[in-house]
Amino acid sequence: MLDQGAPPQSRTTSAPPSPGVGARLMRRKPVERLVAEGGQGEGGTLRRSLGLWQLTMISIGATLGTGIFVVLGEAVPKAGPAVTLSFVIAGLTALFSALSYAELAGTIPVSGSSYSYAYATLGELIAWICGWCLVLEYGVSVAAVAVGWGEYLNELLDGTIGVTIPDALSAPPGDGGIFNLPALIVVLLAMAFLLGGAKESARANTIMVCVKIAALVLFCAIGIQGFRSGNYEHFMPLGMAGVSAAGATLFFSYIGFDAASTAGEEAKNAQRDLPRAIMLSLVIVTALYVVVAAVAVGAKPWQRFNDSEAALAAIMKDVTGQTFWGTLLAACAVIAIASVVLTVLYGQTRILFAMSRDGLVPKVFARVDPKSGSPRANTVIVSLFCGVLAAAIPLGQLADATSIGTLFAFALVNVAVVVLRRTRPEMRRTFRVPLSPVLPAIGFALCVWMMGSLSAVTWVVFGVWMAVGLVFYFSYGYRRSRMATATAETSGEPLEGPRAEK
């Protein structure tokens, strides 16, 4: 019953009840709002300058090279000759997730990638967890690839001028060194390109990708001459468990296909070109990986890989008996792996840009330089962090940590595409996952299965990383997110965070 004695205004102006904690954690950001905010940052906007060709090259640049040039030496001892099967399994796992990425990228063409997709479908807490996994995925993979770049740089120096960088300055602690200087240098070089703007960075990346593909074709042409069928006699010496373990490690080499989705706010026609770039890049990369891995194992017994990060250059030397071809491949690899660092670092900065715009991380990451149209402060901070990480942490630990973060984010994307189909069936989709929800369910299951193949140490690192992320979210993002302040204004609650201070 209404209180007849109460003043009339008290019955008409009372604020709606404030949402509970559970509702706050599950608050979703409308798709229309995500798209409308595309490109907007603090003090400027991102420039739309990338077409289908540049987007595809970004995906190939971020993907091709990490598994073949760097992690192959880590994976072969786990699976033996069946490492080719490990590449196929990892590629199929990526394919199912790529289908979901393609649909969501065409529907929600923004820079946040799977973080933004989760925000629109699964709520803020899940979006934060996904974004935190992406920070692990992109940031750590930059460091991991930078470590491998240093290995090939030493091969190049040894073959050309007969000197190498001492272990103390070319290997991290735990691998016989003090500080990995080459790894830091390549990250800083990538930073310099990114500070020039997205279009200039894409142009440099395209050149490096062409060099990379040429190097792998050259390796196959020479390596096939040393092919020995006997190297495949015991195809699966460590069983299916070894194939699965190698596949989980090699999944690290497929993370780049989603890099195009981080360019959603700098693409000229994002809804049309993003799905095409994602699928095209994955097909090209998987085919090259399988062919190169098959030639590599055929040319060198799997027991002799010995965790070498510069495995392909060593095979070229063994087959030809000359240092020239190995040195040439090392030179190509130095250029090619630099493109992985460049494009993955680009993706990391755009993920943080989107999270910052939503208020979940400090706003410095969303500041856009009006002259270059790029988030300069964001780029510098991320580059310095990744460079120091690359200089201090061994490659194997970095690759596995990246894999688990990637698999977790991909699993969420497979869930998000099903949820958005049910909650917003009327939305225009330029690409649709066939046989949904069956294929997204398979993609989700494969991601969970491959996560289970990773070591206990990797799971511990992942658990600690998640715990740190949740502490940061509840102490910062929970109250400062733009969705939180909008809710506070609607419910009449006192504002907290930056907007309360204005």
Q: What is the 3-state secondary structure (H, E, C) of 274-340?
A: HHHHHHHHHHHHHHHHHHHHHHHHHHCCHHHCCCCCCHHHHHHHHHHCCHHHHHHHHHHHHHHHHHH
CA distance 320 to 155: 16
CA distance 274 to 29: 21
At 487, the pLDDT band (50, 70, 90 cuts) reads: low
- Give the range with max mean pLDDT: 16-25, 246-255, 465-474: 465-474
Specify the pLDDT at position 396: 60
Statement: residue 488 has pLDDT above 60: no
DSSP codes joined into one string, 215-263:
HHHHHHHHHGGG--GGGGSSS-TTHHHHHHHHHHHHGGGGGGGGGGGGG
Statement: residue 236 has pLDDT above 70: yes
Q: Of all helices (H) and strands (E), which one includes residue 45?
A: strand 44-45
Specify the pLDDT at position 309: 56
Lowest mean pLDDT among 27-36, 293-302, 483-492: 483-492
Statement: residue 10 has pLDDT above 60: no
- Cβ 150 vs Cβ 170: under 8 Å: yes
CA distance 110 to 126: 18
The string of pLDDT tens digits covering residues 149-206 is: 777 788 788 878 888 888 788 776 666 778 888 888 889 999 999 988 888 888 888 9
Statement: residue 9 has pLDDT above 50: no
- Cβ 151 vs Cβ 337: under 8 Å: no
CA distance 183 to 149: 7
Q: What is the mean pLDDT of the chain?
A: 82
Specify the pLDDT at position 499: 41
At 470, the pLDDT band (50, 70, 90 cuts) reads: very high
The string of pLDDT tens digits covering residues 373-403 is: 888 999 999 999 888 887 877 656 666 667 7
Which residues does 103 contact at the CB level (< 8 Å), separation at least 6? 275, 417, 429, 431, 432, 433
| Better-scored residue on pLDDT, 90 or 500 | 90
Tell me what the mean pLDDT of segment 79-105 comes to.
Answer: 88
Tell me what the mean pLDDT of segment 313-330 comes to.
Answer: 81
Statement: residue 492 has pLDDT above 90: no
Residue count of the chain, please give it: 502
CA distance 173 to 459: 22
Encoded amino acid at 167, one letter: D
Statement: residue 345 has pLDDT above 80: yes
The string of pLDDT tens digits covering residues 133-152 is: 888 877 777 777 787 777 77
CA-based nearest residue to 391, from 180, 128, 134? 180
At 498, the pLDDT band (50, 70, 90 cuts) reads: very low
CA distance 454 to 382: 27
The string of pLDDT tens digits covering residues 42-70 is: 767 788 888 899 999 988 988 886 667 66
Joined together, the tokens standing for residue 260 give 């195009």
- Cβ 51 vs Cβ 247: under 8 Å: no
The string of pLDDT tens digits covering residues 399-442 is: 666 778 888 888 999 999 999 999 989 888 889 999 989 999 99
At 18, the pLDDT band (50, 70, 90 cuts) reads: low
| Better-scored residue on pLDDT, 309 or 321 | 321
CA distance 464 to 183: 25
Angle at Cα 277 formed by Cα 274 and Cα 283, nearest 5°? 140
The string of pLDDT tens digits covering residues 260-269 is: 888 888 888 8
Specify the pLDDT at position 383: 92
Specify the pLDDT at position 256: 75
ω into 375 cis (within 30 of 0): no
CA distance 113 to 262: 5
The string of pLDDT tens digits covering residues 105-124 is: 888 888 888 899 999 899 99
Specify the pLDDT at position 188: 92
What is the β-pairing status of strands 40-41 and 44-45?
antiparallel
CA distance 407 to 449: 10
Statement: residue 257 has pLDDT above 70: yes
Angle at Cα 460 formed by Cα 180 and Cα 396, nearest 5°? 30
Specify the pLDDT at position 1: 41
Q: Provide, rounded to the nearest whole percent, the portion of the chain with pLDDT above 90.
A: 18
Statement: residue 349 has pLDDT above 60: yes
Specify the pLDDT at position 468: 92
CA distance 82 to 172: 30
Tell me what the mean pLDDT of segment 77-105 comes to.
Answer: 88
CA distance 461 to 477: 22
- Cβ 108 vs Cβ 119: under 8 Å: no
Number of alpha helices (DSSP H) and beta strands (DSSP E) in the chain: 22, 2
Which residues does 147 contact at the CB level (< 8 Å), separation at least 6? 70, 172, 180, 183, 309, 390, 393, 394, 395, 398
- Cβ 107 vs Cβ 429: under 8 Å: yes
